[in-house]
Structure 1
Amino acid sequence: MTPPSGAAPRSGRPTRRDQLAAIAGGLFARDGYHNVSVQDIAAAVGLSGPALYRHFRGKQAVLAHLLLTGLDEAGRVLDGGGRVLGGDGRVLDGDADAGADAGAGPELPESYARLAALVVARPEFGMLWRRERRHLAPDDATEVTARAVRIGAPLIRALQEHRPELKPSDASLLTWGALSVLGSISDHSVRLARTAFEKLLTAIVLDILATDLPPAPGAPPAVAGARRTALDARREQLLAVSARLFRERGFHAVTMEHIGAAADMAGPSIYTHFSGKVDLLQTAAHRIQERLRQNSEAAQTAGVSASDTLDLLIGSYVDTVLDYRDLVAAYFAEGHNLPDRDRAELRRFQSALAAYWAEVTSAAAPVRDPKEVRVRVHAAFAVVNDLALTHQFASRPALAAELRTLMRTVLAG
């Protein structure tokens, strides 16, 4: 197996353990945690499988090392005590002045510029955090969450100091939305020159932090999934249950027996509706792909201005994510587990979808570098996907309007 470009080593002289973890991180991000074996990792660095166990007790320990050390380095960078190293050993300090006039005080631009430098040097981390941390051992998962909170909490407090009118929950939403922008670069292969990339990410982040959120509506929020059409109630129930379990545990950790038990249905009875787990994942992916395709066609044929077309796309995308949270999570996080043909089709569709959004965004806000527009499109998707799927924000009464506002901010600047 040819190794992908792994995460860069930590500051200082990298250890053999760090080098092994970096290669493993690239493999996990490219192929998915469960599709990479200890033998794959060892082969990528020219070792035998047993030799890897001299450094890690197993694959799960490698994933924990990657996430914990990545969060530790983010903490050091924010404290000003760490220097980010690129793969060639160059120091990649963030531009502390990037976006300094974007509405935040001096500390926030510097903090996020440093984080932007870190993620540009280690683009795989966002994918590992978003998709693979479900596979950690319980104790490691608890520690990873605790360290992430310790990083996010000071950023939330700093935003409140600069914008005292914000409620703590609003500052939290904006901060985690900003961090989603940084993590979004693991979702695509668009790359700019290093300094330009860091400045663009920092500018988008500071736009997010300066966003005025819409007021909460008087009516109660819509119930997620209320717009589904259930032509076959049992089939739809199985699809919903399996998508939820895939989201919570990961595709490989879920069995047909788990799905049957959660749906209060005997395992063999499931096979009258679906041929197996892969069929369930294929159906979930096709359901979301078809919804997104219909959304694009409706916007494209509406006969309105580019700016209004962009608003139509934004509104329909947010509605889709909120209405089908679990299916969307399966679509984006488990696509690498589809059969080869389906996986290739999913990637072609996602590429075409992003290209159409970039075309509309460019028309609505011209004089933009095409690569910058594509980076913004992927960042906008990430903000909506991450915040909509984060439990602490799920019950916000104005979440749909807030996500539309944030998406427009990321795209239009």
Structure 2
Amino acid sequence: MSSPTGAVSRPGKPARRDQLGAIAAGLFARDGYHNVSVQDIAAAAGLSGPALYRHFRGKQAVLAHVLLAGLDEAKLTLDGCTGSDAGEELAQAYAQLAAVVVAWPEFGMLWRRERRHLAQDDASEVRKRAVRIGTPLIRALQNQRPELGPAEASLLTWGALSVLGSISDHRVRLPRAAFEKLLTAIALNTLATDLTAASTPRHSPASAPSLLDARREQLLAVSARLFRDRGFHAVTMEHIGAAAGMAGPSVYTHFAGKVDLLQTAANRIRERLRQNVTAAQAAGLPASDTLDLLVISYVDTVLDYRDLVAAYFAEGHNLPERDRTELRRFQQAFATYWAEVTGAAAPTPDPREVKVRVHAAFAVVNDLAQTGQFSSRPALASELRALMHAVLTRA
């Protein structure tokens, strides 16, 4: 069994560092890394701030401990997988990993959203250990599907891992055994995807802004990229101005501040997603065709607005409370509509399964579109559409 921190379990009471890591992980996942202080972690653990420093040198070290412990446990589970062939080995490996993430669902959020806050040495070590997990999975997939090149096998493998991590994006829960079985099945479906299956051309990107809006659009794009790379709290108006080639105070001519920029980015993506739903509804097509339209428009939106989408999903917790509430309400309604269409196109007895699949499909596209090694693939849009269909509709 796993401890709440994702650390490898040991007989007896968990180590104090693991207990503190579990508390910190919950706070980081709920409030965001920069919104949690050492004092917050200590208080939640019933300690004074200085007492926590006896276990960790600071907040970055706590985050590193949590991520490294989770990766270590994942690696340990993979080391114990010994199938009679590549297919059995993969099935066993993803079943074991599914058990890990179901036991500790926050890990996916911390991996996606918070690892950029690690100290350089810790970030390097986290990357190394992640590669140690991915490499044997990629190799096993190539053994099972020898027609795949290394890049294609890597794309499918990291897509399958995104399926597992997607449970941190929602609160839909099934009984533990059923949840692990479903996640394993979706991950294996992802690995079986025919990457040439979707050939519909991409929609044209949105038209360029007028010259009157060009500076405002530039600042929005620059700020979204900085928020994605550094996190909202690590970016100043001076950083934004410098990246846009202007003095920091001049940014205030176009935006009231960082919050205004984040609100604008979130509103831009929300409106684009709303338009996608409206267009799909207005088409009046059968459920399977409507799902096709939704998949095409979602992939195009993520690829056309990668930085804005990253800010929309990763930094929403930094919006004012009213905006956070509105954002959550829209995201729930958006996912619900997708689940309704998916359920009609590919009926299943348990509507919760459909919701899990929908969130997994979103995670696969969002994660792979943001991963540098895949972002320049010429057929990425087609491949992401094929992956979404595999996650949503495969039995």
Please tell me whether residue 157 in structure 1 is matched to residue 139 in structure 2: yes
Please tell me whether residue 274 in structure 1 is matched to residue 263 in structure 2: no
Q: 1:171 aligns with which of 140, 150, 153?
A: 153
Encode CA deviations 1:66-97: one digit per residue, 9 max, x unaligned: 0111111110010018xxxxxxxxxxxxxx99
- Distance in 2, matches of 1:255 and 1:268, equals 11
**Cα 1:370–1:215, aligned 2, differ >3 Å: closer, same or farther?**
closer
Calculate percent identity across the aligned residue pairs.
77
**What CA RMSD, in Å, does the superposition of the two structures yield over aligned residues?**
2.2
- Distance in 2, matches of 1:411 and 1:375, equals 9
Match of 2:121 in 1: 139
SS in 1 for 2:87: coil
- Counterpart AA for 1:182: L
**Cα 1:227–1:174, aligned 2, differ >3 Å: closer, same or farther?**
farther
Structure 1 position 222, deviation (Å): 9.0
Please tell me whether residue 229 in structure 1 is matched to residue 231 in structure 2: no
Match of 2:341 in 1: 360
Encode CA deviations 1:323-352: one digit per residue, 9 max, x unaligned: 000000000000000000001100000001
Q: 2:264 aligns with which of 275, 283, 290?
A: 283
**Cα 1:30–1:36, aligned 2, differ >3 Å: closer, same or farther?**
same
Q: TM-score, normalised by structure 2?
A: 0.95
Encode CA deviations 1:161-212: one digit per residue, 9 max, x unaligned: 0000001100000000000000000001111000000000000011011111
Match of 1:93 in 2: none
SS in 2 for 1:192: coil
Partners of 2:339 and 2:358 within 8 A in 1: yes
Q: 1:11 aligns with which of 9, 21, 24?
A: 9
Match of 2:223 in 1: 242
Encode CA deviations 1:31-76: one digit per residue, 9 max, x unaligned: 1000111111111111111111110011000000001111111100
Match of 2:64 in 1: 64
Structure 1 position 10, deviation (Å): 3.1
Structure 1 position 7, deviation (Å): 3.7
Q: TM-score, normalised by structure 1?
A: 0.91
Structure 1 position 116, deviation (Å): 0.3
Structure 1 position 227, deviation (Å): 4.3
Runs of 4+ in 1 over 2 A off after TM superposition: 5-10, 225-231
**Cα 1:334–1:295, aligned 2, differ >3 Å: closer, same or farther?**
same
Partners of 1:292 and 1:317 within 8 A in 2: yes
Structure 1 position 214, deviation (Å): 1.0
Please tell me whether residue 54 in structure 1 is matched to residue 34 in structure 2: no
Q: 1:315 aligns with which of 296, 306, 311?
A: 296
* Structure 2 unaligned spans of 5+: none
- Distance in 1, matches of 2:187 and 2:140, equals 14
Encode CA deviations 1:222-276: one digit per residue, 9 max, x unaligned: 99x6644345000000000000000011000000000000000111111110000
- Counterpart AA for 2:209: T
Q: 1:397 aligns with which of 361, 366, 378?
A: 378
Match of 2:101 in 1: 119
SS in 1 for 2:283: coil
**Cα 1:297–1:215, aligned 2, differ >3 Å: closer, same or farther?**
closer
- Counterpart AA for 2:328: R
Structure 1 position 367, deviation (Å): 3.0
**Cα 1:226–1:138, aligned 2, differ >3 Å: closer, same or farther?**
farther
Structure 1 position 105, deviation (Å): 1.0
Q: 2:285 aligns with which of 287, 290, 304?
A: 304
Partners of 1:178 and 1:209 within 8 A in 2: yes
Match of 2:25 in 1: 25
Give the number of the structure whose residues are more often helix, by fraction: 2
SS in 2 for 1:105: helix
Match of 2:355 in 1: 374
- Distance in 2, matches of 1:407 and 1:156, equals 20
* Structure 1 unaligned spans of 5+: 82-95
**Cα 1:228–1:334, aligned 2, differ >3 Å: closer, same or farther?**
farther
SS in 1 for 2:100: helix
- Counterpart AA for 2:317: H
SS in 2 for 1:383: helix
Encode CA deviations 1:123-170: one digit per residue, 9 max, x unaligned: 011000000000000010011011101110110011000000001100
